[in-house]
Structures are given as C-alpha cells and as structure tokens.
Amino acid sequence: MANPSKKAITEAVQGKNIIITGASSGIGEHTAKLLGACGAQVILLARTEDKLKKVKESIEELGGKASYYPCDLTNMDDIEKISQQILADFEHVDVLVNNAGRSIRRSVHESVERFHDFERTMEINYFGAVKMILGVLPVMMARQTGQIVNISSIGVLANSPRFGAYVASKAALDAFSRCLAAEVKGDNIKITNIFMPLVRTPMIAPTKLYRYMPALSPDEAAMRVAKAIVDKPNSIASNMGKIASATYSLVPAFNVGVQSIGYRLYPSSKAAQMTDKKPNLAQRAFARILPGEHH
C-alpha cells in the first residue's frame, strides 16, 4: 500500500475545512498534525480542552491552521450544538474524519452483567459518528462536494473474538456508510471506510500484552487517512483484512475455526491487562500469521 507524497496530500487538502473527531491524542492527533502541516484548516473535536489546545498549538508551530471545539461525542445534543457552531464559523466542511472511538476487549460471556459495554461502544462509535455525519451532510449536498472518512477496524472484516461490543458498533457504522454512499454518489460526496489494524495508541495501552504485538504507529495510521483523502476509495484495508473477509464469505467455518484458535491462545481481558510476560511461541506465531488483529 503506497503512501501518498506530501505534494499529493497538500494538493488534496490545501485550504480545505477538515473536521477530525477524537483529535486530542492517537490517530486523531497525528492526522491533524499531518493535514495541518499540508495546508488544511483542521477543526479539532474531543472532550478535553487542554489537550485540544496543545494539539492546536503544535499545528500552528508547524505553520498550519487549527481551531478546536470541546465536545462530548457521546452526547447527541452537544454534537448538534457544536456542528451548528462550526458551520456558523466556517460556512462549510469539506471533509469529516470520524475517528473518535471506544474499544472494549471483553468476551461476551464476561459481559453478561455488563450490558453497558454494548451501550458505550454504540454511543460513540456509531451514534456519535452518525450524528456528526447528519450535521454536515446537508451543506455537503447543497455544495455538491464533500467526503466522510470513517475510522473502522480490521475486526469488522475478521470477526475478532473478545471484541463483540466494539466490532458490532464499527460494523453498524460500516453498514450505514455503505448505504449512504449510494445515496450521495450523485451529489459528488464520497464515503471512505478505513479498516485499521492494531495501532499503538492510548486506546490499547491498558492491555499490557499489546506491547509485544505488531502494530502500526500513529503516524502510519495518519498516513492511511491522508491516502483516503487523496485517493477517495470506498474503503482501505490491509491484505490480511481482505483475506479474512474473503474467507468468511467463502468458507465461514474456516474463518471461525482460525479465530477460535486465537481466542484460546490469548488470555482473557483481565489477565492481558495484568501480565507483563512476553507472548509465548504460539502467540507470536499467530500474531505473525494474522498481524494487526486483536485477540
């Protein structure tokens, strides 16, 4: 997967108003810095104002332009208010990057008494993202141009065990976006879903086992977002993600069997958070065969 050049990114984003949710850390922060340095007017959304301010200052030090809006992306009223404020301040949005998200690594049977696990992931990963889309879509349609980039997960393609709540919420956004893509194609609006593998961000930090697993850096993940904006594909996925999706379509029993092996090889959520042990030989081998997946 060839990365776009800085020149190509600059040509694609120069002078564009680009909203990035979850912009205070991780993929969102690094994406904002990359696009800001290439000439975009980045509009930063997240809950914590102090962190947003630091990201804004970093972008300005790079010669870019940035604004920030503290927003609780699980609160639909807050999203609506902020969306209206952004449109009042900037008149239009060229690109919306739905990056904010919550991941929960827990087997379904461990969530029997934790229905809120499923509610929390849907709140931000699905409802919050959809509410953001609804906020900018009418102006994009009126202007007959725009792009929505959703940060999804390889788990949607691979059906990763222990991530039922997380993957389901990302899959809901994927399904919504595929339906929307057909509706707005005639309005010159592009929808791109990025099926990210594991990325070394604060989101995965609680699970100590992940320190030893193959993962993208936040800068590499940000480059995938840039590629989405430059090339405007319907989706971006790693080869492993494509293979996993194909195996489930063609030979679902094989896909389930492989994922079941991974489920048994890796410890439960609580154990994975507590252990500082390096993965054993079988775990390392599985991680090499299926790089970027969470188990």
More confident residue, 161 or 150: 150
**Domain 6-238+252-289, CATH:** 3.40.50.720
Question: What are the residue ranges spanned by the domains of the chain?
Answer: 6-238+252-289
Tell how strand 17-21 and strand 95-98 pair up. Answer: parallel
pLDDT digits 0-9 by tens, 40-62: 999 999 999 999 999 999 999 99
The tokens describing 67, both together, are 């604004």
Residues 126, 120: Cα–Cα separation, whole Å: 10
Q: What average pLDDT does range 100-121 have in this prediction?
A: 94
- How many C-beta neighbours within 10 Å does residue 176 have? 16
- One DSSP character per residue, the chain reads -PPPPHHHHHHHHTT-EEEEESTTSHHHHHHHHHHHHTT-EEEEEES-HHHHHHHHHHHHHTT-EEEEEE--TT-HHHHHHHHHHHHHHHS--SEEEE---------GGGGTT-THHHHHHIIIIIIIHHHHHHHHHHHHHHHT-EEEEEEEEHHHHHT-TT-HHHHHHHHHHHHHHHHHHHHHGGGTEEEEEEEE--B-STTTTT-GGGGGS--B-HHHHHHHHHHHHHH--SEEE-HHHHHHHHHHHH-HHHHHHHHHHHHHHSPPHHHHHH--PPP-HHHHHHHHHSTT---
Residue 295 has pLDDT above 50, yes or no: no
Query: Quick check: is 166 catalytic?
Result: yes
Residues 199, 83: Cα–Cα separation, whole Å: 28
pLDDT at res. 254: 83
Least confident of 27-36, 141-150, 252-261, 282-291: 282-291
Residues 276, 256: Cα–Cα separation, whole Å: 29
Q: What average pLDDT does range 257-270 have in this prediction?
A: 72
pLDDT at res. 260: 77
pLDDT at res. 76: 98
More confident residue, 79 or 249: 79
- List of residues 6+ apart from 231 with CB closer than 8 A: 4
Marked catalytic residue, from 68, 166, 210, 266: 166
Residues 77, 260: Cα–Cα separation, whole Å: 41
Q: What average pLDDT does range 94-123 have in this prediction?
A: 95
pTM: 0.86
Task: Find residue 190's DSSP bridge partners.
Answer: 147
**What φ, ψ does residue 94 adopt, rounded to 5°?**
-85, -40
Q: What average pLDDT does range 259-277 have in this prediction?
A: 63
More confident residue, 257 or 206: 257
Residues 150, 131: Cα–Cα separation, whole Å: 13
